[in-house]
Amino acid sequence: MPDRLILNMPDVIETPRLILRTPRPRDGLLLNSAYHESRSRLERWFLWAQRNMAVEEHEILMRQKHADYISQDDFMLIITERKSNTLIGGSGLHFRKRDPLIFEIGYWLRTGFEGNGYVSETVRAIVRVGFEMLKAEKIMLRADSENDRSKAVAERNRFTFDGIMRHFEPQHNNPEKMIDMCFYSLLPDEYESLKKDWWDMGEKA
């Protein structure tokens, strides 16, 4: 028996308004532009948004994440808006356990593209792949207790609230402050009861 499952994660996931795809070589310039436009919003919530990263660093990251996708060590996804062909953010399925198979979805959105339901559309598409194609046992989301936009994604899409872990980690751009982290999840049977409602919610849910 192999040590690890071979998972049929697609290279591209399409939604009505978005294309989600694996990172590719030469994506570094596109990512760097979105990053610097959005960094002032993101540095409160993400450790990776603390540094003034150069194009070359993002290119190395894109190539590493492309390799991780092939080796099934991590499934990062680039979010592109169909109508403009613009890189508008990032997401992905990140392993939390392999047996049983548990993933976490992370997400961030480029400044100027908020408020259109793009993150919910992304999360629903990735959850569908996670349960229907990869046969996940659980899919998680988490959010800083003060990040109302991020929590709203989980609540709007009816993830189960699992609880708050107090003093989870230092705030990324203010290490003297400890943050509380909210955890949410979906199980396969919950997804089955939700999925029709999700598709009936429309693009801007």
Residue 3 located in a structural domain: no
**Residue 33, in any domain of the structure:** yes
Q: Alpha-carbon distance 95 to 134, whole Å? A: 12
- Within a domain: 137: yes
- Classify residue 171: in a domain, yes or no: yes
Q: With respect to residue 6, please indicate whether it lies within any of the assigned structural domains.
A: no
Tally of domains within the chain: 1
- For residue 194, is it within any domain? yes
Q: Note the pTM of the prediction, 2 decimals.
A: 0.93
Other beta carbons within 10 angstroms of residue 118's beta carbon come to: 23
Domain span at residue 108? Answer: 12-200
- The CATH number of whichever domain residue 53 belongs to comes to 3.40.630.30
Partners of 165 in beta bridges: 181
Inside any domain, residue 141: yes
- In angstroms and rounded to an integer, the radius of gyration of the C-alpha atoms of the chain is 17
Confirm whether 4 is domain-assigned.
Answer: no
Residue 1 reports pLDDT greater than 90: no
The pLDDT confidence band at residue 200, using thresholds 50, 70 and 90, is: low
**pLDDT tens digits for range 43-70:** 999 999 999 999 999 999 999 999 999 9
* Percent share of the chain, pLDDT over 70: 95
Residues paired with 107 in a beta bridge: 91
Structure tokens, 21: 């795809």
Runs of H (alpha helix) within 48-147: 55-71, 118-132
Candidates 40, 150, 46, 33; CA nearest to 80 is 33
